[in-house]
Amino acid sequence: MANTPHGGILKDLVARDEPISAQLKEESLSLPYLVLTERQLCDLELITNGGFSPLEGFLNEADYKSVVDNLRLSNGVLFPIPVTLDVSRADVERLSIASGNRITLLDPRDEEALAIITVDDIYAPDRVKEAIQVFGADDPAHPSVAYLRNRVKDFYIGGKVQAIKAPTHFDYVALRYTPTELRAHFKKLAWRKVVAFQTRNPMHRAHRELTVRAARQRQANVLIHPVVGLTKPGDVDHYTRVRPREAVWHAIIRKNFGATHFIVGRDHAGPGKNSQGKDFYGPYDAQDLVIKYHDELQIEMVPFQQMTYLPSTDEYQPVDEVPKLRKRLRTGAPIPDWFSYDAVVKVLRESYPPRNKQGFVLFLTGLHNSGKDAIAKALQLTLNQQGGETVRQELSPELGYSSDDRHENVHRIAFVAAELTRAGAAVIAAPTSPQERSRQLARDTILQNGGSGGNFFLIHVATSLEHCEKTDRHGLYTQARIILLLETQSLL
């Protein structure tokens, strides 16, 4: 029998609103709309399918403050992570967002209308406090703090949503069970006890052994429940981790999917090292927090240590260390046969080649006539790659030289560079990019989309303005000074 949903009722908004979905879709055409980010899309999907029960929308200010301060919604129900819908000031002004407004939420992949939110309130969060309370420190070395600082917009919208449809997926369709579907599956199979194992990496032999052991000890069946979505750079495909709070959050999600037991491992929510080179959290902080809230969670935690194989006795035993897989992949060092399966290692080798076979992007920036183009051409000959000007002529022939056009040109070059470097190419780009926002966009695009080749090197050719102007045969600096002088005189 599946576990009771968190809060007592599974909030399957897609099923709830299915009778009026056609009306909602028709209404959505006349409403202002907001195109979600990929992160917001992940959150919306789990809100509307019930994975985030008891939530029925994005947190309003009262719920947000209560979750940040107390790990609870304003009604007292345990919920450790703020699920928010962030918008920019421009969005607020463009959509005239105010309490009571209804806004259509669009899928960023195809702009399909997925839901309508009725705005409760709009508020400016204290992001420093959110970082300290939720992630444990306002330290940009933490991937979620870096995201909060650099990517999250200035305002949050709170409000309940009505579901028009679930997001469409074309990959692993047969394995994408909603909480309602999975609960029905458990009932059909007469599974009374279900041990959920959350995987963030491919399952190796040690993982299988510890999962099978946990199930046998509790006479339960096993649910392998991978997390997918945004990733932490350098990690092997998993949803960005936060802190021990997330172990409680994961337990709630698995409970909503029907699991009765949840495996929480060593360093379950560890995002790595802080700015001082120390671990953000202790190895068993996540387990301790789940134990603290056991009575409210009503899902049994199954703790374990990591496992390794002992060739001398032909068995697995819990240990604190296992072979450093990521380092072995990065350097091309051999991976022992006993550690994983040949097929898994083969796929990982293809997806995460050693450093000497990974692509990279050299992004040169500097003043006009600084010499960055000459350096790029020299590197181009050395590496036998095509340079940035060829890309501009073929990719952006219609763009001019305004600030916005230059920004768009950098965006396009970054996108193409990410695709090339993901395939293992060495890419040299030397566009005119005087704006910090353009250079940051290029970095983010390549790091996020370049896969194992997301190696981005920003090179500033720091030639002095005096030298650049002195050797400027085309008189561009002279023209710029004249224009600036005319603009100044017109203001006077």
Question: Residue 150 catalytic?
Answer: no
Kindly compute the dihedral angle of the four CA atoms of residues 39, 43, 46, 49, in this order, to the nearest 10 degrees: -110
What whole-number distance in Å separates Cα of residue 155 and Cα of residue 333?
47
Tokens of 272: 């790595």
What whole-number distance in Å separates Cα of residue 453 and Cα of residue 456?
8
For the chain, how far is it from start to end, CA to CA, in angstroms? 79
Which secondary structure element, helix H or strand E, spans residue 58, and what is its range? strand 57-58
Q: Residue 241 burial (CB < 10 Å; 0-12/13-18/19+)? A: buried
3-state secondary structure of 440: helix
What whole-number distance in Å separates Cα of residue 456 and Cα of residue 450?
9
Alpha-carbon 186 to chain mean position: 30
Look-up of token digits 């495996």: 263
How big is the chain by its Cα radius of gyration, in Å?
Answer: 26
DSSP lists the bridge partners of residue 261 as: 195, 300
Of 200, 205, 213, 443, the catalytic one is: 200
Helix, strand, coil % over all residues of the chain, rounded to 5: 45, 15, 40
Length of the chain: 492
Question: Residue 3 catalytic?
Answer: no
Question: Residue 199 catalytic?
Answer: yes
Of 37, 70, 101, 201, the catalytic one is: 201
Tokens of 457: 């090197």
Of 199, 274, 449, 455, the catalytic one is: 199
Residues 116, 157 contacting (CB under 8 angstroms): no
DSSP lists the bridge partners of residue 117 as: 103, 161
Look-up of token digits 């959110």: 130
Collect all residues with Cβ–Cβ distance below 8 Å to 141 and sequence separation of at least 6: 272, 273, 274, 275
Residues 11, 50 contacting (CB under 8 angstroms): yes
CB atoms within 10 A of CB 160: 17
What whole-number distance in Å separates Cα of residue 322 and Cα of residue 344?
17
List, by residue number, the catalytic residues. 199-201
